[in-house]
Amino acid sequence: MAKKTLTLRQWTSSTFFGWLAGIVLLVVFSAFFESVGIDGLQFHAGAAIALGVGGAQWLRLRSRLTIDSRWIWFSLIGFVFPFALYDIIAYAFDFSLERFFLPVCVTIGALTATLFQFAILRRFASSRPWLWVNPSAWLTSLVMVVAVEFTPRISIHSMVVFVVNLALILGGGVVLGLISGPVMTQIVNDNQRRGGKEVYEPEMK
């Protein structure tokens, strides 16, 4: 049975809904840790967005490429690593990056997760651009989320600020998909044109 092709719309919608799922998971994780008296930890933020986006992307890819659930695990490890490391350093040395915490952790997480994901994608044609396009997509979405901090300066009307903030936060998921999508669609569709044949076959153990 021939595998399916992938469109930019499909990839963007999956990434967007994964982004939404990540936001929901973040709220759930935060509420849980607060309920058990654990405050100040940040690693669950990386876990939430990685599980949401990584999981939704894998669900879209699994019927199109020979990609297993490592996509989710690699995304999770890549994003949890900087947040967990920050938690450890902050606790051990009473250290805080304050407003720079999110940009630093997301940037490192995006780079780490991308490298792990490329370990899966590298056997497919046209995959190399993923190394710089995917981090660029995450960083653009990060800028939109961080911009929420500055929106109160554009209006004194709380409803205007709310609408702008909502658009920025939700738009982050759309932008993440739109920027990373052209590369992923090319990877998938090139693979289909090759009849599902990979760039190289892994060596048999």
Q: Is residue 118 part of a domain?
A: yes
Distance in angstroms (rounded) separating the CA atoms of residues 20 and 53? 8
Distance in angstroms (rounded) separating the CA atoms of residues 179 and 10? 13
Q: Is residue 127 part of a domain?
A: yes
Write the pLDDT tens digit of every residue in 95-128.
888 889 999 999 999 999 999 999 999 999 889 9
Give the pLDDT confidence score for residue 190 in this predicted structure: 93
Q: Is residue 117 part of a domain?
A: yes
Write the pLDDT tens digit of every residue in 146-201.
999 888 877 667 888 889 999 999 999 999 999 999 999 999 999 888 776 565 44
Give the pLDDT confidence score for residue 2 in this predicted structure: 53
Q: Is residue 173 part of a domain?
A: yes
What's the distance, CA 93 to chain centroid? 29
Give the pLDDT confidence score for residue 36 in this predicted structure: 86
Give the pLDDT confidence score for residue 62 in this predicted structure: 92
Write the pLDDT tens digit of every residue in 14-55.
999 999 999 999 999 999 988 888 877 889 999 999 999 999
Distance in angstroms (rounded) separating the CA atoms of residues 47 and 120? 20
Q: Which of 120, 111, 165 has its CA nearest to residue 138? A: 111
> pLDDT category, 88, cuts 50, 70, 90?
very high
Which tokens belong to 152?
A: 């109160």
Task: Tell me what the mean pLDDT of segment 67-88 comes to.
Answer: 95
Using the predicted structure, report yes or no on whether residue 3 has a pLDDT greater than 70. no
Task: Tell me what the mean pLDDT of segment 88-92 comes to.
Answer: 90
Give the pLDDT confidence score for residue 197 in this predicted structure: 59
Q: Are 144 and 94 in contact (CB under 8 A)?
A: no
Axis crossing angle, helix 43-61 with helix 8-35, rounded to the nearest 10: 150
End-to-end CA distance of the chain: 27
Q: Is residue 198 part of a domain?
A: no
Q: Which of 103, 129, 142, 146 has its CA nearest to residue 183? A: 129
Q: Is residue 177 part of a domain?
A: yes
Give the pLDDT confidence score for residue 150 in this predicted structure: 86
Distance in angstroms (rounded) separating the CA atoms of residues 26 and 44? 7
Q: Is residue 48 part of a domain?
A: yes
Length of the chain, in residues: 205
Q: Which of 18, 120, 40, 119 has its CA nearest to residue 84? A: 40
Domain count, the chain: 1
Task: Tell me what the mean pLDDT of segment 79-95 comes to.
Answer: 92
> pLDDT category, 203, cuts 50, 70, 90?
very low
Q: Is residue 149 part of a domain?
A: yes
User: Which domain range does residue 69 map to?
Assistant: 8-193
